[in-house]
Structure 1
Amino acid sequence: MLPSENFPPVIFLLGPTASGKSQIALDIAENFPVEIISVDSAQVYRYMDIGTAKPEPETLVRTPHHLINLIDPDQSYSAAKFRQDALKIMNEICQRNKIPLLVGGTMLYFRALQDGLSVLPPANKELRQGLEEMAKKVGWPVMHHKLSEIDKETAIRIKPTDSQRIQRALEVCYLTKQPMSSILQSRHQADFPFQVIRIALLPSDRSELHQRIAKRFETMLNRGLIDEVQLIRQQFPDLNIESPSMRCVGYRQACLYLDNVIDNKALLDMGIAATRQLAKRQLTWLRNMRTTDKLFEFDCLETNLTIKINNLLNSTIPAHLSLT
């Protein structure tokens, strides 16, 4: 259900990786008074350009994007911080009598922005150190099993080797004396005074999307992804494969390659497979979103996609914010 029509409009442009969101956003910006806000947990990092498919520098000059290049790869960013930053920028854009156009594939950020976040306890240094010491003795798969005994729902969503998320889930369980999944289900409905137009780019043919994904990753490698990661690791020597920035799709596989863990073929195969898995998760989020939010769905493989989306926006947004 949309908020009151008295609220200013905002556009959400959602879709899986390789669905063409970035180009559609630029097309919209050519025809409507919008300002683009990136909703991408990887594009917040400086120097990570090729593997995150950031717009080219000349494109950013012509059509500025908000929330890109915010932090260094050895720093961290959260959904809560995104919500805070995005709301501030959205209000500023509306004051300029323009429309915020939020574009990206980090579905958790979209959900956090609209619905807020559950109140989870802050990190506890002593408890984390204790969990790390225990993991050194028994291994993270055993720690994952411990998590499954007290919070099965959360454990199902986390890989047995995902040390960061296992540690956080156990930490929350021990601090609150209840499963993290229960806390997340009691999410507080946040104030979000905007009228949202949700445009979802979905593939009519999953195999064609997979072809796009393969070509996309091959292009990243040809453009110098390995060199980019090597330079980043030289500049930030404390980074490792478990650092949040290096866990991004493509960067993790490049790190394994640079560490001589995998060869060229495995790098390509694993990078494509990881990107497919990301797209699958994004599509699952969108399917679930259908049950709670109104989506305007478009086939991302169509050739006349821009025209159809422009027609929708012309009929949906207020007249004084129509085509310029």
Structure 2
Amino acid sequence: MDIANISTHGLPRIIVLGGPTAVGKTRFSLALAEAFGAEIVNYDSVQLYRHLDIGTAKPSAEERARVPHHLFDVLDPDQESNVADYMAMAHATIAEIVGRGKVPLLVGGTGMYARILVHGIFEAPPADPEIRARHRELVDAHGEAHLHAMLAEVDPELAQKFHENDVLRVSRGLEIYEQTGKALSVHQREHRFREPNYDALKIGLLRPREELYDRINQRVDQMMAQGLLDEYKELISRGYDRRLKPLQSLGYRQMQQHLFEDVPLDEAVEDMKVSTRRYAKQQISWFRKEPRLHWALAPILEQGAQQDEWRLPATVRDDIEAFIAGAPTDQLDLSWAQLDSHNVER
């Protein structure tokens, strides 16, 4: 098959697969990658970290051996990382894959990473230590609500997105306004009109709500059976501070509450299920706002002759093949990806 991994607009072609946790992205991505020789690039912010395997539902070693996987296990839990760091790694990885004539298949659930990767982000000025020190003094003197009220005066749209306790983000929003004389929300709106970085076919997977929630509950039970608690204990025994951001992520936070805050294990597990369902709902809301994302009803795949054999239906294969060969997304059939996400989720 001919691969036109550069579009007629001169942009590299990529496929982006998104959707909520436990929807079935891993299985679908493996079938797609094997069918077209694509290489999977992670955009889950926690799967970047080493030693956090069970709680992040990383692809298994066997799954990763089937097709090339990138940007898994690239950071230690105590390494600081931000969106800009991820973007640098991801852009370099995509360029390397495209340079070899292969198709990058981005898979994950951190929707913000995918959006910024494709569409870019407003490049804010670097942090100003003097401004941040002044903000800390204001918080110490008047409380977190005072700083949040200051942000609401100059950027009410941004202030609505942050809780007053989120001092770091509130301070950053104020800092950008003080540095540029313009609200961050205004910068972000203006930035949306720039050209994208890639020609992307974006696919979102979804399941009916009760089915998705059942899968989430089953996944949590499976994680516990696989040894999530022991995985967390191992992280602590390695000397990692339990206050580190990766160790505060879903699953690990609940194991911490059990071990250090006297929360019974069954209550911690139930909280993990409730919190994961809430997170899945947030993911769906985010992906719904993603421009030109085509929703499909999972699992999409057809059962093969073997129990663990899954194949892409012909309609899916035809569209993906046409996109890889150079067809614009608006010329694809995509009848399999015309789902009304609002109706299905109910």
* Same-fold call, TM cutoff 0.5: yes
With 123-132 and 93-102 compared, the bigger mean Cα shift is at 123-132
Matched, 1:62 2:66: yes
Number of equivalenced pairs: 312
Instruction: Note if contact 2:39-2:69 (Cα within 8 Å) is conserved in structure 1.
Output: yes
Instruction: Note if contact 2:242-2:256 (Cα within 8 Å) is conserved in structure 1.
Output: no
Map of 1:227 onto structure 2: 230
Alpha-carbon offset, residue 261 of structure 1: 5.6
Instruction: Note if contact 1:116-1:189 (Cα within 8 Å) is conserved in structure 2.
Output: no
- Give 1:282's aligned amino acid: Q
Q: CA–CA distance in 2 between the matches of 1:25 and 1:149?
A: 45
5+ long unaligned stretches in structure 1: 320-324
5+ long unaligned stretches in structure 2: 1-5, 303-310, 327-346
Map of 2:312 onto structure 1: 306
Deviations 1:1-29 (A, max 9, x none): x9637654321111111111111111112
Alpha-carbon offset, residue 35 of structure 1: 0.9
Q: Identity of paired residues, percent? A: 33
Map of 2:219 onto structure 1: 216
Instruction: Note if contact 1:114-1:190 (Cα within 8 Å) is conserved in structure 2.
Output: no
Q: Of residues 80, 101, 123 in structure 1, which corresponds to 2:127?
A: 123
Map of 2:209 onto structure 1: 206
Go from structure 1 to structure 2 and tell me whether the alpha carbon gap of 1:271 and 1:161 turns closer, same or farther (over 3 Å shift). Answer: farther
Map of 1:322 onto structure 2: none
SS in 1 for 2:202: strand
Alpha-carbon offset, residue 120 of structure 1: 1.5
Matched, 1:83 2:87: yes
Go from structure 1 to structure 2 and tell me whether the alpha carbon gap of 1:254 and 1:132 turns closer, same or farther (over 3 Å shift). Answer: farther
Map of 2:161 onto structure 1: 157
- Give 2:74's aligned amino acid: L
Instruction: Note if contact 1:128-1:171 (Cα within 8 Å) is conserved in structure 2.
Output: yes
Q: CA–CA distance in 2 between the matches of 1:4 and 1:177?
A: 38
Map of 1:286 onto structure 2: 287
Matched, 1:97 2:104: no
With 249-258 and 188-197 compared, the bigger mean Cα shift is at 188-197
SS in 1 for 2:261: coil
Instruction: Note if contact 1:80-1:112 (Cα within 8 Å) is conserved in structure 2.
Output: no
Matched, 1:13 2:11: no
Map of 2:113 onto structure 1: 109
Structure 2 length as normaliser, TM-score?
0.80
Instruction: Note if contact 2:117-2:197 (Cα within 8 Å) is conserved in structure 1.
Output: no
Matched, 1:180 2:184: yes
Structure 1 length as normaliser, TM-score?
0.85
Q: CA–CA distance in 2 between the matches of 1:192 and 1:150?
A: 29
Q: CA–CA distance in 1 between the matches of 2:216 and 2:145?
A: 31
Go from structure 1 to structure 2 and tell me whether the alpha carbon gap of 1:131 and 1:230 turns closer, same or farther (over 3 Å shift). Answer: farther
Deviations 1:8-58 (A, max 9, x none): 432111111111111111111221111110111111111111111111123
- Give 1:298's aligned amino acid: A
Alpha-carbon offset, residue 102 of structure 1: 0.8
Q: CA–CA distance in 2 between the matches of 1:167 and 1:20?
A: 38
SS in 2 for 1:186: helix
Deviations 1:168-188 (A, max 9, x none): 333333433443222222226
Instruction: Note if contact 2:43-2:114 (Cα within 8 Å) is conserved in structure 1.
Output: yes
